[in-house]
A and B are shown apart, each in its own frame.
Chain A
Amino acid sequence: GNSVTQMEGPVTLSEEAFLTINCTYTATGYPSLFWYVQYPGEGLQLLLKATKADDKGSNKGFEATYRKETTSFHLEKGSVQVSDSAVYFCALEEGTYKYIFGTGTRLKVLA
């Protein structure tokens, strides 16, 4: 079946460091891919998405490119801030009705 694999956390970085959170997927066809962020005590917020191969999603300085050849959708940000500390989830859309999420990667940014 379809699945999403994320790198293990937690990831601890200093402010202004470069961030990469790896995400790979297994799926039939070419599903839409998403990154969601979850701040402590809150629900999920959509960070960015890509709906087809080679699409680049971007938002708030975060970027991810849909790589069909490597079945990856890695999240990157050039300079992280303390306020970026959260849990990040990679997800794919299966069919038209459900998302499959990875286990999440906790990011902690130190001032």
Chain B
Amino acid sequence: DAGVTQSPTHLIKTRGQHVTLRCSPISGHKSVSWYQQVLGQGPQFIFQYYEKEERGRGNFPDRFSARQFPNYSSELNVNALLLGDSALYLCASSTGAQGAEQYFGPGTRLTVT
């Protein structure tokens, strides 16, 4: 069975640019969450989408946005990139039920120069 997939694997952008990261959840999972993991720290919650609706948002600026498509895949968009946005961006999928574990993808490594 295919796990969570993310693309691209690596990305280098310049300050002020825009970036789109993509995630495909495990088949049958309707929930996708996005996390930012800065080097040496634990993942920080950015968004969760369930059935194409935003269910939760973390403490991130409005430059961060996301959406979920009818096939439950998701995009994370970041505008006006800052150096501090350099991180590993993780996508996780789950059934969306309380207590259901989240399955993480391999992540997209974003470097902002």
Q: A-side interface residues toward B, CB under 8 Å?
A: 4, 32, 34, 36, 42-46, 49, 51, 89, 91, 93, 95-104
Contact = CB atoms under 8 A, between A and B. Distances in A.
Contacts of A49: 101
Contacts of B35: 99
B99 A103 contact: no
Contacts of A89: 42-43
Contact of A104 (B41, B92, B97): B41
B48 A44 contact: no
Interface residues of B, number: 28
A43 B41 contact: no
A4 B43 CA distance: 12
Interface stretch (B11-19, B69-77, B78-86, B102-110): B102-110
Contacts, number: 63
B41 A96 contact: no
23 contacts: A32-B99, A36-B104, A43-B104, A43-B105, A43-B106, A43-B107, A44-B90, A44-B104, A45-B104, A89-B42, A95-B98, A96-B96, A97-B31, A97-B50, A97-B56, A97-B96, A98-B56, A98-B58, A99-B45, A101-B42, A102-B42, A103-B41, A104-B40
Interface of B: 4, 31, 33, 35, 40-45, 48, 50, 55-56, 58, 90, 92, 96-99, 101-107
B90 A95 contact: no
B108 to A, nearest CB: 10
Contacts of A98: 33, 45, 48, 56, 58
Contacts of B48: 97-98
B99 A51 contact: yes
Contacts of B58: 98
A96 B97 contact: yes
A44 B101 contact: no
A96 B98 contact: yes
Nearest to B98: A96
A40 to B, nearest CB: 12
A73 to B, nearest CB: 14
Contacts of B45: 98-100
